[in-house]
Structures are given as structure tokens and as C-alpha cells.
Amino acid sequence: MHYLSISFTHKNTDISVREKLAFNTPEKKLQILKLIKTDKDINEAMVISTCNRVEVLSFSNEPKTSSSHIIKCMAIASGVFEDELFERADVFEDSGALHHLFSVASSLDSLVVGETQIMGQIKNDFKFALENQFCGEHINKAVDYAKICAAKVRNDTQISNNPISVSSVAVAKAKEIFTTLQGKTALIIGAGEMCELAAKHLISNGAKVLILNRSSERVENLVGRLGEMADWDTILKLKEYVNKSDLIFSGTSAPNPIITDETIQPTTFHRYFFDIAVPRDIDIKNKSELIDIYSVDDLKEIVKQNLALREEQAQLAYSIVGNSTYEFLKAQKTSLSTPIIKAIRQQAKECAEKELQKAIKKGYLKNSDQEEAYKLINQVLNSFLHPMTINLKQIGETKNALDITKSMKYIFDIKEDKQQ
């Protein structure tokens, strides 16, 4: 069995394709996971879908055929041509897939290195796949270890100091445009995590925020957390507010744009839109010179500055990821030997007991000698099996652990564990 990761990110896929691939609703995730699991060689699968990436992590018998199957499924679900996805996809197997997962969880593969939201998104996507019975113990182990690795990177490096996210980069760009945000009022459309982060950064820079959302309960709770610098209204007033605001952030989970040419009316003042959603919320084709729109991908220049500042810490973080990958694989290899050791010892025990009873039945031993004889046999077996046990426990240090375990199972007639 093999870990397999198929990855589409800001590094290999532009936003126009990523937004088609975004499996950011329960319905879309169910659709793609059901398609993926039609491959009998794929035992487990989960989808990671964020504003900067869409990835499928799976556990498969045949990674080469499974990777082709997964990309075909993504093409069917997204409407993107299969050839284009094959050309763009980054495919990782086994140690590469684990190293990639740990790097993603540690925010080393993010558009904004060091951002703090990605591990929470991975946890949520894993929980969804687990609850819907698309994944089990193997992906569970990998995600658990990814959490440990991410925590170590966070604690042992300074890469997440002054945490930066796409939302904070968007606010930084707004501050650059207006020189100061003190006393301004920003319109925010949506009440999810990205919008909440944008609101917090705007407020910390002296701005007030007005939040529009479909769910009044959710936006009321958000405004309650943000305090007196925040207010809200219904999204039914979207058109009214969009045409009287000069600073607008939008980050809903809507499947289609919510701000289009029909929404926009002419104004005498300049408007700046920050579209932090994937799929994008804003699709204005008849854009005037008084309208500027910044999407996630347009914020890359600020991100590059962030990367330069954190390069040294990133190198340290990558060494942690490399060590974590090695330790995980070592633990996985070692775990292969545990059932074999148990099976061999059980066989030896059963054989000893069987022969002991034969000896008593034939009169070679008295019943009164049975306990002492069993102790002696047990000591002999432990002494004989001790070198084998030590060597099998150290199997994680070897490159050919799988070959060794297969040979041991064959020699001692141990039936294959279907889950290994």
C-alpha cells in the first residue's frame, strides 16, 4: 500500500482553474470522493480544498493507476479538461506524499508562508472524509503526525511570528493604497474565517467594518466578537452598500460571483475591491478606471516580501519536516513487524503446549511436572526467539522492511493482514 498525493496549488495552477476545482461544499466533496472511491485499489481518500490549493490524499495499492483515476475524476467533477489537469498536477508518492502533507500542514507550501489557518482546514477536511467513511487508520495516522510536525515547526521556529494570512496581506495592500486606514469604514461581504481575519486586521489598523451576510445569527455572533468597531446588515442590501463604499472585501463560499456588472453603478469616487474568495466573488467585465480589483493571486508581490523575511526560518522548518517524515516512515515500518512477532510467538506457544500434552499423555512426563516443564520450554523459546524479536523491532532502520516482512510471513505461514 502507498500514500499518494495529487496537488493543484498557486504554484502550478492559476486562480481561474483553481476556482473550478474548488471542492468547498459538503456536496462537492461527497461527489469527488465518491468518484475517487470507485477505484478498487484506493482504500482511503480525503480532499483538501482551500483558497490556494486543491489536493487529494489517498492510500492506494497501485499509485500510478490511481493517480490517473483521481485526475480523471477531478476533470469530471470540475469540467476542466483532463489533459490540462495531467499537465498541471504535482504528484507525490510514499515519502514524497508524506513530506508534502507535513509541509502543507506546517504552512511551508502556502501562498503566505507561516499563515496559521491551514492546519485547521486540514483537520476539518479530514473529519469530513472520516465521518463519511472515505478514509481510515492510514490517513488518520498521517494527519495525526502532520499535526505533531506542524506544532513542532510552530514551536521551534519563528516562522509563524506575526502571523500573516491572505486576509492580512489584503489589508496591508489596502493600507498601502490609502496610507492609513484610521477612521475608514470597510465593507466586508461574508462572515467566514477569511472575512473574520480581514475584519480583525482592519480594526487593528483603526478602521470600522460593516459586514454583510446571509445568516443573521452568524454575523451577529461575529460582530459580538469583534466589538464596537463592527456592525452588520443583511446581504440583501449588497448593491446599495457596494455603490457607496470605497473599500470592499469579499470572501463568501458562493459557487458563483455575487458582484457582477449588474451590481455596479457609476460613482465619482475610486473603489478598491479585495476578492479573497475561491471561487472568486467578483466578476466585473465593464470595469471603469475608478475600480481596482485584487484577487488572491494579485497579492503575490507582498507575499514574496514575506517569503524573503522568513527564508532562514523556512530552512529550519523544512529540516523539521524532513525529520518528521523519516520518523513517521520508521514508525510505520516498525509497526509492520509487531503482528509478525506476535504471530510467531503465538505459533511457538501453541506448538510447545501441544507437544507438552503429548509428552504427558505418553507418560514421558508426570502431570505434577507440567508446570516446571512449561516454564523450561518458555525460557527456551524466549531465548531462541530473542535475536529474531530484536532484529524485527529494528526493521524500521532498513530500506527493505517490506521485503523482510513478506519473507517472514511466507516462512512462518502468516496470513496477510488486509489492512497492511
Binding residues: 50-53, 110, 115-117, 121, 190-195
Dump the DSSP string for 202-268. Answer: HHHTT-EEEEEES-HHHHHHHHHHH-TTEEEEEGGGHHHHHTT-SEEEE----SS-SEETTT----S
Coil vs helix vs strand at 191 = coil
E strand or H helix at 61: none
Rounded Cα distance, 314 and 293, in Å: 31
Coil vs helix vs strand at 294 = strand
Give the strand pairing for 185-189 and 53-60.
unpaired
Which entry of 51, 73, 135, 149 is annotated as an active-site residue?
51
Bridge partners of 294, per DSSP, are 274
Rounded Cα distance, 347 and 356, in Å: 14
The angle formed by the CA atoms of residues 80, 59 and 106, to the nearest 5 degrees, is: 80
Q: Kindly state the DSSP code that residue 135 receives in the 8-state scheme.
A: -
Nearest one of 271, 275, 262, 265 to 290, comparing CA atoms: 271
162 dihedral zone (left: phi>0; alpha: psi -120 to 50; beta) = left
> For 93, phi and psi rounded to 5 degrees?
-120, 145
51 catalytic per annotation: yes
How many other C-beta atoms can be found within 10 angstroms of the C-beta atom of residue 133?
10
Question: Which residue numbers are catalytic?
Answer: 51
